[in-house]
Amino acid sequence: MVRAEAGRDEGAPLSRTEEVREFLVAEGGERLDKYLIGPLALSRSQVQRLIRQGRVTVEGAVAKASYLLSPGERIRVQLPPPEEPGPLAQELPLDIVYEDQDLAVVNKPAGMVVHPSYGHKKGTLVNALLARYPSLSQLPGSRPGIVHRLDKDTSGLMVVAKNEPARRNLQKQFKRGEVKKVYLALVEGHLKPAQGVIEAPIGRDPRRRKRMAVLRGGREAVTEYQVRKHLEGYTLVEAMPRTGRTHQVRVHLAFLGHPVVGDSVYGFRKKRLELKRQFLHSHILGFRAPSGRYLELEAPLPGELKRVLEGLRGRREAR
């Protein structure tokens, strides 16, 4: 029978969230990983993970999981900080445009954050998805099901995965640029020419770290655009990002001197239209489902954006 004495290592520097435990082997002959299952109350795979991470030493030296213990040897285990609880399920309205056994396509409203983060623990898309699809809680990571993101104040289509193989499949398509993405944006001024390709690398703004910017040495970023309609002082445009950089469409349109209307980060400071969000909407999303079927889905402009366009058309007709 193997016996152990557990106690705190008085000489080890401890953080407030880490715990160090020591065990003195009374009888040998057992593998290190099997020995630690009982006293640590962990599964064998969890113990092996600690060993791989170098958090377990025998007589001061890192040992393998298969190491055979001898009587009198001292084992030191440094337990990592306890993981924060995962996001909670929360009943929230969801507009599901399409779903099958592998995925769902959601029409996200403006104002909804995609996943929990500092200051946004509840009310996110992930919270809502967990309530609708409880099996997502079994997926790894703190953002179960999330394949790509939309900014808080951007509305429109997002695809979410219901299982891990589907998530990997869809993420690969996004990474390879195989997903069709069409955004509708209302921008300041009259955008010319009527169509074009913006090729400008994007990176973190060195002066304002919460912003992105077009920078030499930034990551490759390419956006196609097509003007839909010139309105009085504004342009309705389709933007088709070929790459997926943070804030890409917003940064690229602002780089041209035509920022998205209502964009509080990259837009004009003085508001000329009554709009409490940015006029950017994920309109069309096309991709191949894990089943092999090609899907192309469309979400119409939400009411508040339609009303802005109607107001601008009314101005023209009134003149």
In a domain, 94, yes or no: yes
What's the rounded Cα separation, in Å, for the pair 140 and 189? 45
pLDDT tops 60 at residue 115 = yes
Residues 193 and 319 in one domain: yes
Residues 233 and 189 in one domain: yes
What's the rounded Cα separation, in Å, for the pair 301 and 305? 6
Residues 166 and 184 in one domain: no
State the catalytic residues.
151
Mean pLDDT of 109-121: 85
The two structure tokens encoding residue 19: 């715990």
Smallest CA-to-CA distance from 228 within 262, 188, 185 is with 185
Last residue of a domain, one of 144, 176, 208: 176
pTM recorded for the entire structure: 0.74
Boundaries of domain holding 239: 177-319
Handedness of CA 125, 129, 131, 132 (dihedral sign): positive
Smallest CA-to-CA distance from 107 within 116, 95, 117, 119 is with 95
Percentage of the chain lying above the pLDDT 90 cut: 75
Task: Note the pLDDT tens digit of each residue in 175-191.
Answer: 999 999 999 999 999 99
CA atoms within 13 A on the CB side of 256: 27
The two structure tokens encoding residue 317: 């007709």
Last residue of a domain, one of 157, 176, 195: 176
Last residue of a domain, one of 176, 194, 221: 176
What's the rounded Cα separation, in Å, for the pair 301 and 240? 16
The two structure tokens encoding residue 43: 């599964």
Residues 101 and 114 in one domain: yes
